[in-house]
Structure 1
Amino acid sequence: MRVLVLFAHPVETSFQAALHAKVVTTLRAAGHDVDDLDLYAEDFDPRLTRAERLAYHDIPANRAAVDPYVGRVLAAEALVLVYPVWNFGYPAILKGFFDRVFLPGVSFKMVDGRVQTQLRNIRKMAAVTTYGGSRLRAFLVGDPPRKLVMRVLRAVTGLAVPVRYLAHYDMNRSTPESRAAFLAKVEQEMRTF
C-alpha cells in the first residue's frame, strides 16, 4: 500500500522524531511504499496567502501553489499522521497543510451547497501523537485532537475508513519505560497496518 506519512515536529532529537522514524521504518519493513513528508524538513509554508484564499473555490486554479503536495495526497492509499498535540490541536505547520492542500476538488467538493467527500483514494488512516497533559485532562476538555482525526479527517475520506489513534498522554511526566512501551505499541500497529 502507498502510505503518505505526514510528520510535523521541528526537533530532530525529540521523542516525536523517534516515533516518526519507527513509523517509517516499520511500514517499509512491512512492505509498504512510504512517501515520507516531513513538513519542517521540506520547509512547508503553512500560511494561506490572499491569492490562495481568493482562488480557493476556483478548481483547478486553487492547486497552483501546492500542486506537488496535492499530487502526493492523491497518490496515497493510506495516511499516517505523526505529530505532537500543542494547545489541544495540530501544530500550526500541520494545520496549515490541511488548510492549503485539502482543497475543494481535492478533499471535498461542493454540490448544491453541501460538502461531498473526495479523498476516496485513502483507505486507511492512523495518527501517532503525544500530549503533554494526562488523558483525563484531554477528556475533560473534549479531546479536540482526537475528534479532528476521528471525525474531521474521516469526513473527507469516508466514514468507513478504518482509523487508529495512538496517543501517549502525559508526556510531561513520562518515563523511559512509558516511552519505550509506546514505541513498541506503535511498532506493532505499523507492522499490521
Structure 2
Amino acid sequence: MRTVIVYNHPFEGSYCNAILSVVTNGLRKANHEIDLMHLDREEFNPRMSAEDLTGFVAHQAVDPQVIDYGKRLEKADHLIFIFPIWWDIMPATTKGFIDRVLAPAVVYDHHPRGFGLIPLLKNLKSITLITTMNKPKVMYSLLIGNLIQKVMLRSVFKTMGYKNLNWISYNRVKSVTQEKRVKWLNNLEKRFTDFK
C-alpha cells in the first residue's frame, strides 16, 4: 500500500509532529510505502496566482510543485492529512493545498451530465484527517459547528465523490496531562500498525 501524508505544521516540537512520527512508525510496521508531503519544509505556497487560476480553469496546472503533488496523489492508496486547527479551521497552507492541488482533471472531474463531481483517484481507498486543537470537543461541536467536518469531509471530499472518510480529533491538547498525550500517541501508532 502507498500512503500519502499531507503534513502542515511549522514547529518541529509540536504535538502534530509527534503524531506524524507515530503514524509513520505504524505505517512502516504495516509495510506501507510512505510519501510525505511536508508543506512547511517544502515551502509550499498556498496562494493561488492569476497563472494558477488560468491553469485551474484549463485543467492544466502550471506550478511544478503542484504538478508533482498531483502526480503523487494519483498513486495513493490512502491519504492522510495532519494539521492543527487554528481559529476553528485548517491553517492557510492546508487550505492552499486544497485550492491548488485538489484540482479538476487530477482529483475530480465534472460529471458529463453537468451536475455533480466524479472522483479520479481510482486507487484511493480512504482519506483520514488527524487534527489537534485546544478547544473542548463539545464546544467545537456545539458552538462552532465542527467546521473541519463540514469543510473538508463534506464540502471537499464527499462532494468529489470519495468515500471512507475519517476524522481523528485531539482536543484540549495543551491542557490534558502528559500521560494522556502519550496514551493518544501509543493508540494512534497501534491504529496505523493495523492499517490496511
Asked if Structure 1 and Structure 2 have the same fold, meaning a TM-score greater than 0.5 normalized by the shorter chain, the answer is yes
TM-score norm. by structure 2 comes to 0.90
**Cα deviation, residue 33, structure 1:** 0.6
Match of 1:106 in 2: 106
Give yes or no for the alignment of 1:147 onto 2:145.
no
The correspondence of residues 48-127 of structure 1 with structure 2, limited to 5 A, is: 48-59=48-59, 61=60, 63-65=61-63, 66-110=66-110, 111-118=112-119, 119-127=121-129
Preserved contact between residue 55 and residue 62 of structure 2 (Cα < 8 Å): no
**1:119-172 deviations in Å (ceiling 9; x for gaps):** 3321112121111100011111211112334323233252xx323321111124
CA distance in 1, matches of 2:172, 2:32: 31
Choose which of 134, 158, 165 in structure 1 pairs with 2:167: 165
CA distance in 2, matches of 1:70, 1:157: 18
Match of 1:73, SS state, is helix
Amino acid at match of 1:2: R
Match of 1:17 in 2: 17
Residues 148 and 181 of structure 1, relative CA distance in 2, 3 Å threshold: farther
The correspondence of residues 26-45 of structure 1 with structure 2, limited to 5 A, is: 26-45=26-45
Match of 2:31, SS state, is coil
CA distance in 1, matches of 2:71, 2:94: 17
Amino acid at match of 1:153: F
Q: RMSD across aligned C-alpha pairs, in angstroms? A: 1.5
Gaps of 5+ in 2: none
Residues 181 and 127 of structure 1, relative CA distance in 2, 3 Å threshold: same
Gaps of 5+ in 1: none
**Cα deviation, residue 184, structure 1:** 1.7
Aligned length: 189
Stretches (4+) displaced over 3 A? none
**1:100-129 deviations in Å (ceiling 9; x for gaps):** 011111122123432322233211121211
Preserved contact between residue 4 and residue 35 of structure 1 (Cα < 8 Å): yes
Give yes or no for the alignment of 1:8 onto 2:8.
yes
